[in-house]
């Protein structure tokens, strides 16, 4: 039964089609504090589709001295069955830290959300990326923007997390909310937080300990419980496990549906403009304000209407975790 659920979930993710024809992949931002399990999460999803352990993203340990990830990385995942990439990509970032001039600058995460930072940009903990930097994208299209944001939080340390880091995450959440980008929390290391869950992952939604950690996370970050996904990453295993895969794939199914709903709404609001159309829009504004122009070149008809993002659809509702357990609270 679990085998068929895992395979069915993989097929569902393979068949997802971005709801805007000009966007080939849904972009998922993965961020959080150092050692939370961001890279382990993306590697775990990659491993499921490749059928073996993968290490595409460099992984930092929980007690690492600073973030191992230094550059902005767009991580494509091979289908595993076909010679093609899956219809989504992870955007991996430098970890957040509470010390000054360490870790990713919160403003850079906002620029990632808006599509202003290019793949391979080296983060600078002392200053934010500007339009003078080589890795800055002045004219992002809808395909460059983030369609869903994941905040990765370790369930073992949520109650002890420094207020400065929580403040940074809340500030990024507020900006994402202004853009109407859907946001979820991936709660990692649940096997370390609860001994019963460590023995049997199917007990995850019956565990009072995990429920408490989810509530702590909700209270500190302001994320509703139905947008918090408790999972276990692969970090010491050498072979795939069905129960681990089912939890991870269940979370990804919701995340990608949220992302696709946002993309559809943003596309309807006319946000898919590239360099040429952005230039046309700017020239249109100049033309409108100038009374000395002899010819009325109507660029305005070419320019899209503004707006940061579309409305997030409420059509996606939370289901149980694909395990034969009690429904999610």
The domain spans of the chain are 2-271
In whole angstroms, give the CA distance from residue 148 to residue 262.
8
For the segment 283-310, what is each residue's pLDDT rounded down to a tens digit?
344 444 443 333 333 433 344 444 443 4
Residue 56 has what pLDDT?
A: 61
Which pLDDT band holds residue 18 (cuts at 50, 70, 90)?
very high
Mean pLDDT of 41-65: 77
Check residues 324 and 231 and name the one with the higher pLDDT: 231
For the segment 154-179, what is each residue's pLDDT rounded down to a tens digit?
999 999 999 999 999 999 999 999 99
The single-letter DSSP state of residue 98 is S
2-271 has which fold?
A: Rossmann fold (3.40.50)
Instruction: Identify which of 181, 219, 194, 221 has the alpha carbon closest to the alpha carbon of residue 32.
Output: 221
Instruction: Identify which of 208, 177, 256 has the alpha carbon closest to the alpha carbon of residue 14.
Output: 256
Q: Of 20-34, 42-56, 98-112, which one has max mean pLDDT? A: 20-34
* Separation in Å, CA 321 to CA 136, 167, 211, 216, 254: 39, 30, 14, 20, 10
pLDDT of residue 317 exceeding 70: no
Residue 295 has what pLDDT?
A: 37
Q: Which range (17-21, 208-212, 255-259, 294-298) has the least confidence?
A: 294-298
Residue 59 has what pLDDT?
A: 56
């Amino acid at each position: 039964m679990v085998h068929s659920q895992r395979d069915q979930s993989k097929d569902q993710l393979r068949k997802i089609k971005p709801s805007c024809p000009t966007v080939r992949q849904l972009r998922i931002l993965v961020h959080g504090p150092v050692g939370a399990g961001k890279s382990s999460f993306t590697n775990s999803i990659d491993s499921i589709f490749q059928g073996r352990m993968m290490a595409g993203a460099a992984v930092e340990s929980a007690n690492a001295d600073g973030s191992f990830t230094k550059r902005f990385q767009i991580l494509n995942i091979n289908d595993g069955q076909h010679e093609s990439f899956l219809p989504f990509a992870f955007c991996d970032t430098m970890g957040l830290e509470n010390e000054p001039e360490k870790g990713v600058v919160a403003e850079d995460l906002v620029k990632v959300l808006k599509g202003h930072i290019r793949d391979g940009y080296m983060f600078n903990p002392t200053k934010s990326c500007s339009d003078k930097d080589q890795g800055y994208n002045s004219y992002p299209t809808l395909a460059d923007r983030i369609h869903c944001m994941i905040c990765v939080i370790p369930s073992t340390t949520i109650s002890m997390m420094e207020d400065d880091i929580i403040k940074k995450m809340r500030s990024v959440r507020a900006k994402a909310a202004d853009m109407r980008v859907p946001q979820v929390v991936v709660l990692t290391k649940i096997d370390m937080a609860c001994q019963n869950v460590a023995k049997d992952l199917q007990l995850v939604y019956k565990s009072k300990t995990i429920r408490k950690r989810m509530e702590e996370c909700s209270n500190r970050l302001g994320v509703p419980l139905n947008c918090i996904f408790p999972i276990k990453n692969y970090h010491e295993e050498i072979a795939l496990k069905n129960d681990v895969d089912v939890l991870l794939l269940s979370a990804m199914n919701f995340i990608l549906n949220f992302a696709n709903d946002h993309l559809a709404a943003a596309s309807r609001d006319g946000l898919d403009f590239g360099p040429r159309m952005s230039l046309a829009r700017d020239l249109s504004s100049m033309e409108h304000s100038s009374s000395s122009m002899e010819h009325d070149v109507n660029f305005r008809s070419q320019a899209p209407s503004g707006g940061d993002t579309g409305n997030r659809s409420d059509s996606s509702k939370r289901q149980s975790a694909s395990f034969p357990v009690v429904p999610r609270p």
